[in-house]
Chain A
Amino acid sequence: MNASLTVTQSKREGAAVKTKESQSLPLTRPATPGGKETTSRGTPVSEVAFEVDSLSCWFGQHQAVQDLSLQIPAKAVTAIIGPSGCGKSTFLRSLNRMHELVRGSRLRGQIRLFGENIYGPRIDPTLIRRRVGMVFQKSNPFPTMSIRENVTVGLRLNGVRNHIALEERMEKALRMAALWEEVNEHLDRPGTSLSGGQQQRLCIARALAVQPDVLLMDEPASALDPIATTKIEELIQELKKDYTIVIVTHNMQQAARCSDYTAFFYMGRLIEYDKTDKVFTNPSNKQTEDYVTGRFG
């Protein structure tokens, strides 16, 4: 009885969101609060990185994402929040064509990255993954590789052989990941010799070294202690000057602290999507309000 009520409710609100999107998508407005950092560098937030058009994802018979449409702005942080099993990770993995790696998975709809359909017939998924980097929930450096090799592995896969170029890019990536000062003395130690937080930043450096357009982060700090988490969040603030970041998080404070836009997912649907301030202080949807105030989820 109770369950069916929720379903109808979310259906109704899903429709409401859709009409709202067309009128007042946060991205179509000139950059205000969330865009401040970027305006200071002279590039207003106007560019759209991802345009997602009625996306649905399945695992076998189970539909994880239902007819979802939204636009993700470039050079900003977009957080995706929602309770477990709401489809936020699946959505994230559809953005760099990782969803299809799961056996029995299916997908419908369109995703355009800077105007290009990434599910187009002649698109090589490995090229998309080189442009859309990913950081995972659990840090996963390659255990047989040194810190240096871990950072440069993506470049080497891309055929970069020049030693000097590799060293330069490695240093740059490690500096961007705020790890250089901590590891530059022992770059030949195994990547797994670092602490948990350092390993996660190493993985960020590894993703950054290939200079992707977008960085996807799937709960990047959920396995870390508060200090390491703070470092990752500070890092995200730095990185959004150059990168489009989409972060999935369980932690609502984290979303509130470090994102410019927030999308709230529930049961595979997009319930609300707006500027982070708005979502957390004055949500237009009752379910969003319940979730961000901790009444469920």
Chain B
Amino acid sequence: MAETLTTTMGATDDVQLAPPSKVGDRIFKWLAMVMGLSVGALIVIVGFTLWRGASMSVHHFGTGFLTGSKWDPVQEVFGALPFIYGTLVSSLVALVIAVPLSIATAVFLTELAPPRVRQPLVSVIEMLSAVPSVVFGLWGIFVLISWLRVHLFPWLQKLFGFLPLFQGPNYGVSMLAAGIIIAIMILPIITSVSREILRSVPDLQREAAYGLGATRWEVTRIAVLSYAKRGLFGAVVLGLGRALGETMAVTMLIGNRPEISTSLLAPGYTLASVIANEFSEATTDLYLSALFEIALVLLGVTILTNILAQLLIASTAGPKTSRAIQ
């Protein structure tokens, strides 16, 4: 054995090692850089195009575009306030429903669930995020809406009818219906990001709490949740970003009426759904330009919420995790 080894060693002694090739390294570096930069360029191009498309509307309406509540394509009066309102309210409703559910699920998955429950549950949640928006929309129209109209909404009106939030006629299609469907759709992202965040809490923190005689819930509260607080907030903001831009299912369930109503049972409209509904009907230049301006507002808001979310998540989980989430 030892002899064969020496002979092989002897043979390899003659092999000359080539100097490292600089060319491949340089090509690789440039290629990677160009690819990387092209992603950034894409966003700039999209933003610029939207800005150019919107310029006519911007000049025509000024800030009145954002504060006007009348949307009348026939008279060419365009005010985006009902859409801004609808987008914000439907997203907030979604967050109110989705946040407690997602964070509780994430806590269950990281702190409590035994491995044989955890793995299947994680898969199911990931599958939920793979369901196309339009499928949720269709299910929403034929199953969710009728159930809401017949069961949940009358019950809400009976119990909380004194609140302006639950007054008015009950059509089924409504801000609340849209909020519920958005909640289902943002649940996976908030859950999986929260889970990453909770997993990044050092075990040493948990042990510190256990060592003081904390119960499981106390450990979760003082060592895990409070440590992860900012990152969890980031996960919620990331979910908000998704909720704001959610289009298809919302368009199918929100009722598409550009009105501002205090009731969650009333139909509404969102920035995303007005674009989806009306771009093909926008026959005049000003109409099209108004839709472009709506897209610009939506892009601005979603990019800002995303940046905020990334910063918050990175502040707890470190840049590694926040990049892995993307």
List A residues at the B interface (Cβ < 8 Å).
96, 98, 101, 126-131, 133-134, 136, 138, 140-145, 153-154, 157-158, 203, 206-207, 210
Residues of B close to A131: CB separation below 8 A: 213
Query: Across the interface, do A143 and B227 meet the contact criterion of CB distance under 8 Å?
Result: yes
Cβ-closest chain A residue relative to B226: A144
B218 to chain A, nearest CB (A): 6
Instruction: Please judge, given known A-B contacts A140-B202, A142-B227, whether A101 and B212 are in contact too, CB under 8 Å.
Output: no
Cβ-closest chain B residue relative to A203: B208
Query: Across the interface, do A207 and B211 meet the contact criterion of CB distance under 8 Å?
Result: yes
List B residues at the A interface (Cβ < 8 Å).
202, 204-205, 207-215, 218, 222-223, 226-227, 229
Residues of B close to A138: CB separation below 8 A: 204
Query: Across the interface, do B210 and A129 meet the contact criterion of CB distance under 8 Å?
Result: yes
Provide the bound-state CA to CA distance between A154 and B213, in Å: 8
- From the candidates B202, B210, B218, name the one contacting A98 in the complex (CB within 8 A): B210
Provide the bound-state CA to CA distance between A158 and B213, in Å: 9
Query: Across the interface, do B207 and A206 meet the contact criterion of CB distance under 8 Å?
Result: no
- Chain B contact residues, majority secondary structure: helix
- From the candidates B205, B218, B226, B229, name the one contacting A157 in the complex (CB within 8 A): B218
**What would 8 A/B residue contacts be, using CB atoms closer than 8 Å?**
A129-B213, A133-B212, A142-B208, A144-B229, A145-B226, A153-B222, A157-B222, A203-B208
Residues of A close to B208: CB separation below 8 A: 136, 140-142, 203, 206
Residues of A close to B204: CB separation below 8 A: 136, 138, 140
Residues of B close to A145: CB separation below 8 A: 226
Instruction: Please judge, given known A-B contacts A98-B207, A140-B204, whether A154 and B223 are in contact too, CB under 8 Å.
Output: no
Query: Across the interface, do B211 and A134 meet the contact criterion of CB distance under 8 Å?
Result: yes
- From the candidates A98, A144, A153, A158, name the one contacting B227 in the complex (CB within 8 A): A144
Residues of A close to B202: CB separation below 8 A: 140
- From the candidates B209, B212, B229, name the one contacting A210 in the complex (CB within 8 A): B212
Query: Across the interface, do B205 and A140 meet the contact criterion of CB distance under 8 Å?
Result: yes
Provide the bound-state CA to CA distance between A128 and B265, in Å: 54
Cβ-closest chain A residue relative to B216: A126
Provide the bound-state CA to CA distance between A128 and B213, in Å: 7
Provide the bound-state CA to CA distance between A207 and B222, in Å: 15
A129 to chain B, nearest CB (A): 4
Query: Across the interface, do A130 and B212 meet the contact criterion of CB distance under 8 Å?
Result: yes
Query: Across the interface, do A142 and B211 meet the contact criterion of CB distance under 8 Å?
Result: no
Query: Across the interface, do B227 and A210 meet the contact criterion of CB distance under 8 Å?
Result: no
Cβ-closest chain B residue relative to A212: B213
- From the candidates A126, A128, A141, name the one contacting B215 in the complex (CB within 8 A): A126
Residues of A close to B214: CB separation below 8 A: 126, 129, 157
Q: Which of B205, B207, B211 has the most CB of A within 10 A?
A: B211
Query: Across the interface, do B211 and A133 meet the contact criterion of CB distance under 8 Å?
Result: yes
Residues of B close to A153: CB separation below 8 A: 212, 222
Cβ-closest chain A residue relative to B214: A157
Query: Across the interface, do B207 and A101 meet the contact criterion of CB distance under 8 Å?
Result: yes
Residues of B close to A142: CB separation below 8 A: 205, 208-209, 222-223, 226-227
B257 to chain A, nearest CB (A): 45
Query: Across the interface, do A157 and B207 meet the contact criterion of CB distance under 8 Å?
Result: no
Query: Across the interface, do B222 and A98 meet the contact criterion of CB distance under 8 Å?
Result: no
Residues of B close to A127: CB separation below 8 A: 213
Residues of A close to B223: CB separation below 8 A: 142
Provide the bound-state CA to CA distance between A148 and B202, in Å: 22
Instruction: Please judge, given known A-B contacts A140-B202, A143-B227, A144-B227, whether A129 and B211 are in contact too, CB under 8 Å.
Output: yes
Provide the bound-state CA to CA distance between A26 and B34, in Å: 73
Residues of A close to B205: CB separation below 8 A: 140, 142
B53 to chain A, nearest CB (A): 46
Residues of A close to B211: CB separation below 8 A: 96, 98, 129, 133-134, 136, 207
Residues of B close to A143: CB separation below 8 A: 227
Provide the bound-state CA to CA distance between A110 and B215, in Å: 23
A13 to chain B, nearest CB (A): 33
Give me the 4 closest cross-chain CB pairs, A-B, nearest first: A130-B213, A134-B211, A154-B212, A129-B213
A234 to chain B, nearest CB (A): 23
Q: Which of B222, B226, B227 has the most CB of A within 10 A?
A: B222
Provide the bound-state CA to CA distance between A158 and B212, in Å: 9
Instruction: Please judge, given known A-B contacts A98-B207, A140-B205, A140-B207, whether A157 and B227 are in contact too, CB under 8 Å.
Output: no
Q: A129-B212, A129-B214, A157-B218 are in contact. List 8 more A-B contacts (CB 8 A).
A: A101-B207, A129-B210, A133-B212, A134-B207, A134-B211, A141-B208, A153-B222, A158-B213
Residues of B close to A210: CB separation below 8 A: 212-213
B238 to chain A, nearest CB (A): 21
Provide the bound-state CA to CA distance between A218 and B209, in Å: 16
Query: Across the interface, do A101 and B227 meet the contact criterion of CB distance under 8 Å?
Result: no
Query: Across the interface, do B226 and A207 meet the contact criterion of CB distance under 8 Å?
Result: no
A99 to chain B, nearest CB (A): 11
A130 to chain B, nearest CB (A): 3
Residues of A close to B218: CB separation below 8 A: 157
Cβ-closest chain B residue relative to A149: B222
Residues of B close to A134: CB separation below 8 A: 207, 211
A269 to chain B, nearest CB (A): 26
B22 to chain A, nearest CB (A): 43
Cβ-closest chain B residue relative to A216: B211
Provide the bound-state CA to CA distance between A126 and B223, in Å: 15
Residues of A close to B213: CB separation below 8 A: 126-131, 154, 157-158, 210
Cβ-closest chain A residue relative to B204: A140
Query: Across the interface, do B210 and A157 meet the contact criterion of CB distance under 8 Å?
Result: no
Cβ-closest chain B residue relative to A155: B212
A263 to chain B, nearest CB (A): 22
